[in-house]
Structure 1
Amino acid sequence: MQEPDNSPALHSDRRNNRRQLATLTTSKSISNLALRWVTAFLPTLERAFSTTTGTLTSILGLAELGGLSTTLVGRTLDRGRHRLIFVTSLLLVTASSVIALGGSIATFGIAMVLLLVGVSNLTVAGIAYIGERVSYSSRGRAIGTFETSWALSLLLGAPLLAFLIDRYGWRAAYIALALLNGLAAIAIFRSMPAPQAAGAATKTSLFGGLPRSAWPPLIASAAVAGAGMSIFVVMGAWLSDDYGLSVAGLGAIATGIGAAELASSSAVAVVADRIGIRRSVGIGGLLLGLGLVIIAISNYSVIIALIGLIVLVIGFEYGFVSSLSLMSEAAPQARGTAIAVGNAIATITRASLIVISGQCYERFGILGSATVSAAALCAAAAALISDRRRPVGQ
């Protein structure tokens, strides 16, 4: 990781910085897998808990509110205590996998809340950590690398979990996730630097202390996230209901989606800094919208449906990962707080749209969920347009 001259350095050795980024990315991949497999294998969990898509998506939507906990850690991050948040978050993800083994809707709900609290805070801490150590001109590369964790979790983890579920049942997936996240917590504790003495963080109110110019990039990022999740939350159910795909088939498609996401987030790392972060967010949004159109006209053709899904995934990943760099510079003087607030906005957006999308899917099929996604995408476009004159990276 490249360190700007005007930011504090925990390590001057670039090799150590690269190692820290690699450790963060690996740990984030493992925690993401604990979240992502749920929607990819939703039909499996429907059978395990003897429930419906609407019930599970409602639980997922309510559990998303656990992401509001990030508003409590913003000032902790501004004081440089990133390692504390990293380790605590991974331990929460570990605990969630253990609790889910209880096998009831109640234990699943509790597990999902803990999982979302852990994953959300790990994400916020990681982006804040990178934002304080990498100049804006190079931040797309660093955050793009960090966010390959989203793709890697599905690309590498989905086949493993599909094998475990097929061979040993759904509980085997949770046991594996508990072990992996526990090991990740140990690795982070051993490899990341302890907090150093830092100046007092600027004392501001949670929301009122952010400048007005900070809000459009935060809203744009949240809306892009909501647009993607509106489809992802019903993806497994849609492919199973309309095309009769089995667990193995869903695992194969999840792996393909992971490959598309990896290519997309890697593209952010390679080109976003050169063509501009805002432009990258816009390009991602256009591709996401194109994917929605293809899905809407698929008419029960599995080939067209999968093409639309892949285009949507590529657009979402490229646009959303780019938006994180934009969000990290929304309020440089209170970066941890701004990112935490941005995540809270995204949490409310995702939670609302997950529930709405799930209910619309049960009533109208994939067209209902696609309509919800399109509305969120329009909101993202409006926020991005209003942010076009804000100077960044100065």
Structure 2
Amino acid sequence: MALNNPEKSNVTELATLTLARLVMNMTRRFPYPFLPEISRQLGVSLDSVQNVMAVNAGVGIGSPLLGPIGERYGRKRVMMGSLILMMLASAVGAIAPQFGLFAGVMIAFGIVKMVFAPAISAYIGDHIPYERRGTAIGVTELSWAGSLLVAALIVGFLLGAFGLQSVFLMLLVACLLALAAVYRYLPADHPNGDAIPSGITPLATWRALRSNPVAFRALTFTFLFVIANEIFFINYSAYMETTFDLALTALGIVTVVIAVAEVCGEFAVIGFADRYGKRRVTLIGVAVSSIGYILLPVFSFSLPLTLAIVFLIFFMLESAIVASVTLYTEILPDARAIMMSSYVGAESFGRLVGGALGGWLYVTLNNFSLISTISTTIAFCSLFLLWRFVHEKQI
């Protein structure tokens, strides 16, 4: 359903959802810039902390099992419950700087996020008309890049001045503020009990997806596209370092380029997806980023040109991802939480497969040009699926 007073209500609700998503993303992204310092404060090796973060990201594979509970209990209730669980986990993390506690808290964050994220996307799909949904999704997705920026500024100070426990206390307060905003500013929503089975089970999820063949094709597109990007992403830094003899600080500049590109991609969706079509923006983003994979090694003679290609890749990649999320919110309108949790699962599984395959290709081929060609080939397979089987007029 659409809101009664969309002009006023949508602004307040989008601000609330963006704040909630910002906090949620901070729980995922805050450790990455500071992994060495966190490992020192915990008294463990760096790879131990890295393994925890890998599990934190990998639990998203289970999203189709838990994410659909929003269909039964309502999106707002699920968001509030998730924030309460994040507060409890943060409180545990603030007890002591111990590795076991840190690992448990980060894994808990990952589990809660895979329930929370589909609920937000489904809520937007329920309340924002499709013709304006690209802008809404784009605005809330600004929290992805924003969470890294905010975390880098605040977490860096807290880690150095007060230690890791203070970071979890900050997250607890942030979750409390987001919880208060969700409770105060988001209207209650009511599940559509006639649209789904009475029990939220894997079988119920399967039946909901089977009711629309486009859903499976869209999820396969996501799976393949994420594999292609992950193969490229885990190998590009080694290529940049060896090709241009970059120091660690210079590699940090590359990361900044990527972050800026992501923000620009999100703004592109805000500006163009509703006007020119979500599917069209997704197709263009996939096509251009796919070509960028294979073009990057061609410009190995010039660092500025290479950085320009990196910017283009991640600009178009982020545009494609955010626009596709908007597209997916209308594939199963009567079971949005099921569709969006399945999307999270497909994306997480793609990252897992792409990461493993990318590492194997690096060891086996030791040739970034060939690896980029493989990424481009897989990405174009995903592009064909989207172009051939997923049409905006069908949804």
Which category describes the TM-score, using the shorter chain as reference length?
0.7 to 0.9
Closer/same/farther in 2, CA of residues 26 and 256 from structure 1, 3 Å limit: farther
Distance 2:44 2:14 in 1: 41
Match of 2:206 in 1: 207
Match of 1:243 in 2: 246
Please tell me the residue identity of whatever aligns with 2:207. G
Distance 2:365 2:99 in 1: 25
Is residue 329–residue 392 contact of structure 1 (8 Å, CA) maintained in 2? no
Match of 1:127 in 2: 121
Is residue 86–residue 125 contact of structure 1 (8 Å, CA) maintained in 2? yes
Match of 1:22 in 2: 15
Cα deviations by residue, 1:293-343 (Å, 9 ceiling, x for unpaired): 354456597545543432222121101001101211222232222222222
Please tell me the residue identity of whatever aligns with 1:130. I
Please tell me the residue identity of whatever aligns with 2:11. R
Does residue 179 of structure 1 match 2:178?
no
TM, length-normalised to structure 2: 0.79
Please tell me the residue identity of whatever aligns with 2:206. F
**What does 1:81-160 correspond to in 2, within 5 Å?**
81-97=74-90, 103=97, 106-160=100-154
Match of 1:331 in 2: 332
Deviation of 1:288 (Å): 2.2
**What does 1:277-356 correspond to in 2, within 5 Å?**
277-293=278-294, 295-297=296-298, 299=300, 303-356=304-357
Match of 1:391 in 2: 393
Match of 2:55 in 1: 62
Is residue 60–residue 114 contact of structure 2 (8 Å, CA) maintained in 1? yes
Cα RMSD between the aligned structures?
3.7
Distance 1:36 1:89 in 2: 17
Please tell me the residue identity of whatever aligns with 1:124. P
Does residue 380 of structure 1 match 2:382?
yes
Is residue 279–residue 391 contact of structure 2 (8 Å, CA) maintained in 1? no
Is residue 226–residue 350 contact of structure 1 (8 Å, CA) maintained in 2? yes
Please tell me the residue identity of whatever aligns with 2:331. A
Is residue 89–residue 121 contact of structure 1 (8 Å, CA) maintained in 2? yes
Please tell me the residue identity of whatever aligns with 2:225. V
Q: Paired residues, what number?
A: 383
Match of 1:3 in 2: none
Distance 1:236 1:333 in 2: 42
Q: Structure 2: which 5+ runs fail to align?
A: 198-202
Is residue 128–residue 136 contact of structure 2 (8 Å, CA) maintained in 1? yes
Distance 1:133 1:370 in 2: 40
Larger displacement relative to structure 2 (108-117 or 357-366): 357-366
Deviation of 1:268 (Å): 0.4
Cα deviations by residue, 1:83-117 (Å, 9 ceiling, x for unpaired): 12112323444455555565565444433322222
Deviation of 1:40 (Å): 4.3
Closer/same/farther in 2, CA of residues 352 and 8 from structure 1, 3 Å limit: same
Closer/same/farther in 2, CA of residues 13 and 286 from structure 1, 3 Å limit: closer
Larger displacement relative to structure 2 (312-321 or 109-118): 109-118
Cα deviations by residue, 1:320-371 (Å, 9 ceiling, x for unpaired): 0011012112222322222222222222222333444466668878949857
Higher Rg: 2
Distance 1:172 1:285 in 2: 41
Please tell me the residue identity of whatever aligns with 2:76. R
Identity of aligned residues (%): 24
Q: Structure 1: which 5+ runs fail to align?
A: 1-6
Distance 1:91 1:220 in 2: 34
Please tell me the residue identity of whatever aligns with 2:78. I
Deviation of 1:25 (Å): 0.7
Cα deviations by residue, 1:109-129 (Å, 9 ceiling, x for unpaired): 433322222222222111101
